[in-house]
Every structure is written in structure tokens, then in C-alpha cells.
Structure 1
Amino acid sequence: MLALRALAQLATWPDLRQAVPSCGLGQAVRSAQGEIAHFHSDRDVDLRLTDRAIRRFAKDLRGSGVIRIVPGSPWVTLRLDAASDVDLLLTLVSVALQAQQAWPDPVGRVETGCNDQRGAGFVRADRSGF
């Protein structure tokens, strides 16, 4: 129920509202600038950080042990296995909101789905890597 807990918390944020995800699977939250997160299961959440934010934080994201980065995607996937992973998600949603405002997508750029539609499923043997 970690994803539901995170979704409930995010639904109270004034800059976010619940929405139907563009990929059509699960639930989403979005800001005025676009989609922020897709909740695809009780444990898997795709978060749109923007390409620039991912490049800026890539080393830290990879080192977290709970995040999958898909090359070429503005989305990262978080695997929620513990309450601390929910805390990380909430922090990264804040980063995502700031990234959307600081580095908005070019006008006319079509929002691309999410990582749920890209490649194989999330696999992690332990918290040390992917």
C-alpha cells in the first residue's frame, strides 16, 4: 500500500491534482505544466523529472538503489519497498515540480508516455544495484 500512501499525500499538495495517466494505466498526478507521476502498481511509480534534471542528478539517482533510469526517457521508475522509498518519491516530486518550472518543455513538444511502456520490467536483486 506504499503507492496509495504516496498518492494520497501528493493529492493534498496545492500544485498537483489527480488525473488519468497518458499511458492509460493506473493513476497519475499532474501540475499545471504536465504529468508528474504515474502509479502503475502498489510498488512501481514512474516520475517525470525532465531530461535536464535526470542528467543533473543521474549519479545520485543511480546510487539510490530504488530508481531505474531509462536512456532517452524524461521519466525514472521508483520501486517502493519501504517507507523511506516513499519519502524519496515525495522529495523527487518536489524536484520534478521545480524542474518543470525552471526547464519547461519546448512549446509544441508532445508529452511522451512513461517508462511503463519502455523495455523490460523493473528488476532489482537487492538495494545495492539494478
Structure 2
Amino acid sequence: MGSIPQAGVSFAERVVDQLRGWPALSVCRVDCGGSRGLALSTRQIVHLHSANEAELYLTWPVIQRMHEVLVDSERVMLVPGEDWVRVRLDGDSDVRLFTSLVSVAIQANSAAVRECHQPVAPCPKHRLTSV
């Protein structure tokens, strides 16, 4: 299951540390609050709202295609009709899972980035706090 983060570094920070070197991504402040995220060009695809949870803009078509695998992982939380998924980050294997899903999200969002920066649906946290 989980393991203890190194020297007080949260698993969310470990995600950022691993992904900040990816040429397609840049670290950013998320639109829905004071937390950090990662963007593909100007399109935010990762939101890190806490030390042990991350949201990923995977897109609904990809979620539908991968639905069974995502549900079976028991680490990914889905909301029907949402483009975002939430992933629990309680161990190294969760960080590896999330990193793999970020790679899928980059592919899923690359076409939209090239097409006039189509808007991203607000993350679920934003919708909950703006109601």
C-alpha cells in the first residue's frame, strides 16, 4: 500500500518534482484556488489541491475508453460525465500510476492545445467552492 514520503516531501510534491522536467509541462498556479498544478501550454491538466490527492484532466472520451481499468485501480475516483479524475497519492505506486495517467492526459489534450486553446471544464473543486 502506501509508503512514507522522503524527508517530509509529500507525494503531491514528488509528482511535481518528477513532472517539472517534462518538456511539454510547466508548473502553474491553478485557476480554482491557491494550489499548484501543471499545464500543457496554457491548458491546466493537473491540479494538486492537497498533499495526498491530485486531479487530472483526462477528458471524458479517454475516461470512457479506460473506465474499467480506472475503476479497478481503486486509487482513481470518477464522477460520471466529468473530464477530471481524482487520484489518491498514498505511496510510490500511486505516484507512478498518476505519472502514467499524465502521459495519457498529454496525448488526450494535445490536439485541443493546437486548436485555439479550447477551454477546459472547471475542476470539481472549483465547482464545489463556487456553488
TM-score range relative to shorter protein: 0.7 to 0.9
Whole-Å separation in 2 of the counterparts to 1:40 and 1:46: 8
Taking only the aligned residue pairs, the percentage that are identical comes to 36
Partner of 1:51: 60
> In structure 1, which of residues 3, 6, 27 is the aligned counterpart of residue 15 of structure 2?
6
Is the 8 Å Cα contact of residues 38 and 45 (structure 1) preserved in structure 2? yes
Q: What SS does the corresponding residue of 1:78 show, helix, strand or coil?
A: strand
Residues 43, 117 of structure 2: 8 Å contact kept: no
**Shift of residue 107 of structure 1?**
5.8
- What residue in structure 2 maps to residue 37 of structure 1? 46
The 2-side partners of 1:70 and 1:85 are apart by 19
The structure 1 segments of at least 4 consecutive aligned residues displaced by more than 4 Å after TM superposition are 105-109
Aligned to 1:127: none
Please identify which structure carries the higher helix content.
2
RMSD in angstroms over aligned alpha carbons? Answer: 1.9
The residue that corresponds to 1:85 in the other structure is 94
List runs of 5+ in structure 2 lacking aligned partners: 1-9
Q: Identify the residue that residue 70 of structure 1 maps to in structure 2.
A: 79
Q: Work out whether residues 77 and 115 of structure 1, in 8 Å CA contact, stay in contact via their aligned partners in 2.
A: no
Q: TM-score, normalized by length of structure 1? A: 0.82
Structure 1, unpaired ranges of 5+: 120-130
**Distance in 2 between residues matched to 1:22 and 1:111, nearest whole Å:** 11
Aligned length: 118
